[in-house]
Amino acid sequence: MKSCLKPTYYLDCDHSEIQTTVARITGDRMDHVEALQRLFLFVRDQIPYNMYAVTGNQKYYKASKILEMGIGYCVQKAILLTTLGRAAGVPSRLVLVAIRNHLTPPDVVKLLGGNIFFPHAYSQFFLEGRWVNVAATYDQPLCARLGAAVPEFDGYHDTLLPATDLAGHKFIEYIENFGVFDDLPWQLIVDKLPEYYGSGLEGWFIDEPVYIRYKQNGSNTK
């Protein structure tokens, strides 16, 4: 349990900006449940989801760097939320999975070669004697565009991506679980990526986040 409170390379909960952010959002006298609810909302909506934040450069997976960027895709948002949880004094860890998004736009299917997304990650928090799963992946505006329910975290129950959208169509399917981790399992991700994408990683898993290149080209990444 102690390892789920310690700073790591990626989950740098001792970083001054992480500490300042937690203090600003939670205050001094808030219990863990209320603190996590506020941190969840911050990561969900103030760090908008952007799939083009993906990169092969490890520094962009440090929580302090993600906070600085102000955007992230699922893994980065999970890292940030998990790190903020640790900084708030809550035992926190990462869950690494693969998912299938049944509503993936055709252009993204073409880009990725399918509708499976790996890596995908979410947070686990130890609250009142048990681990609770929490995904702050999709922000409110994105949920509105997708026609999906906005995820809400009550502090007690699992909050993961919905299996269906608001119209009842299949949405997110969790297809493989790689376990829980005290830090981001970078080498595992690198080893597993070719199993999902083959040689299709060229131009994606590069040194700078893809969105930076899209911005330089004047493209819309949302």
Determine the Cα–Cα distance for residues 180 and 123; give it in Å rounded to an integer: 9
Residue 222, domain member (yes or no): no
Residue 69, domain member (yes or no): yes
pLDDT band at 141 (very low <50, low <70, confident <90, very high): very high
Determine the Cα–Cα distance for residues 49 and 55; give it in Å rounded to an integer: 14
Residue 136, domain member (yes or no): yes
Residue 23, domain member (yes or no): yes
**CB–CB of 19/7 below 8 Å?**
no
Residue 155, domain member (yes or no): yes
Q: Indicate the average pLDDT of the chain.
A: 91
Domain limits for position 17: 2-216
pLDDT digit string, tens, across residues 61-114: 999 999 999 999 999 999 999 999 999 999 999 999 999 999 999 988 988 889
**Number of domains the chain is built from:** 1
- CATH code for the domain in which residue 209 is found: 3.10.620.30
Residue 221, domain member (yes or no): no
**CB-based contacts of 90: which residues, under 8 Å, 6+ apart?**
32, 35, 36, 125, 126, 127
Residue 43, domain member (yes or no): yes
pLDDT band at 221 (very low <50, low <70, confident <90, very high): very low
